[in-house]
């Protein structure tokens, strides 16, 4: 963030959204206006966007699933909606993919004042993976693999530390087995206990868990319309 460069801001948005709604590195690249479910999303009468619902189909998903990205009023530095809307505003992005290929961002978005606002070249899996590895290797000192799946592991950490329920988090993760889910949850509960014993004020630093996964669109739409 301190570089004041649009590319780095894009990477921050990507990492933040991955850590909030369990997206894989290839899934984050495919998100865009076409993946939004407007019927389930929440926009208040004052135009405040309280929730953006995404239609996501991952590599293990038989059908599309809906994941909600919530506005965070308590921790604006962790609010994925605030950062995404700010990024779209800065890039003048009005349609297509949200997150742009590096060369496309530099050559088109930042230099072409007549760009029509439709992003047709999304960031690639390899670019997201490389960004994660470069960032982690530069800032962390630990053994083991580093990569884009770190975002999904961090999402589990946020979920556990934010008082989320295990079943609800597994649905959001979209894993078919508990065994696979536990690989990502890993030491999240232990780290919570460790932090509490060291009197770290988690309530001031952790987003409160809100349910993300929606299976029945019709019920969700009915409740949304009722409000």
The per-residue pLDDT for 83 is 96
**What's the rounded Cα separation, in Å, for the pair 68 and 214?**
8
The per-residue pLDDT for 166 is 84
DSSP 108: I
The per-residue pLDDT for 168 is 86
The per-residue pLDDT for 95 is 94
Q: Which two tokens stand for residue 198?
A: 């060291």
The per-residue pLDDT for 139 is 72
**What's the rounded Cα separation, in Å, for the pair 13 and 9?**
6
**pTM confidence score:** 0.86
Calculated CA dihedral for residues 34, 39, 44, 48, nearest 10 degrees:
-20
CA distances from 118 to 33, 114, 141, 192, 200 (A): 10, 11, 40, 43, 44
The per-residue pLDDT for 96 is 94
Phi, psi for residue 113 in degrees, rounded to 5: -70, -15
Q: Could you tell me the strand order of the sheet in which 49-56 lies?
A: 42-43, 49-56, 65-70, 213-214
The per-residue pLDDT for 72 is 94
Helix, strand, or coil (residue 106): helix
**pLDDT profile of the chain (227 residues), mean per 10:** 86 91 88 93 89 86 86 92 95 93 87 88 87 77 67 86 86 80 82 84 78 86 79
Sign of CA dihedral 55, 185, 16, 42: positive
Q: Where are the beta strands (DSSP E) in the chain?
A: 42-43, 49-56, 65-70, 95-96, 118-119, 213-214
C-alpha count within 13 angstroms, C-beta hemisphere, residue 121: 10
**What's the rounded Cα separation, in Å, for the pair 188 and 191?**
5
């Amino acid at each position: 963030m301190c570089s004041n460069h649009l590319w780095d801001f894009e990477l921050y948005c990507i990492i933040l959204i991955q850590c909030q709604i369990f997206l894989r590195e290839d899934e984050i690249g495919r998100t865009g206006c076409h993946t939004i479910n407007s019927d389930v999303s929440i926009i208040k009468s004052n135009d405040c966007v309280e929730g953006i619902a995404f239609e996501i189909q991952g590599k293990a998903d038989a059908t599309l699933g809906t994941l909600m990205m919530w506005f965070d009023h308590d921790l604006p530095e962790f609010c994925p909606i605030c950062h995404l809307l700010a990024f779209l505003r800065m890039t003048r992005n009005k349609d297509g993919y949200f997150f742009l290929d590096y060369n496309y961002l530099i050559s088109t978005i930042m230099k072409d004042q007549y760009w029509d606002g439709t992003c047709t070249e999304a960031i690639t899996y390899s670019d997201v993976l490389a960004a994660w590895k470069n960032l982690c290797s530069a800032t962390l000192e630990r053994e083991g693999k580093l990569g884009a799946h770190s975002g999904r592991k961090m999402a589990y950490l946020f979920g556990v530390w934010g008082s989320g329920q295990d079943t609800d988090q597994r649905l959001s993760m979209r894993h078919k087995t508990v065994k696979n889910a536990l690989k990502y949850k890993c030491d999240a509960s232990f780290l919570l206990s460790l932090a509490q014993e060291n009197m770290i004020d988690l309530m001031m630093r952790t987003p409160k868990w809100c349910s993300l996964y929606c299976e029945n669109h019709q019920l969700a739409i009915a409740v949304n319309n009722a409000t």
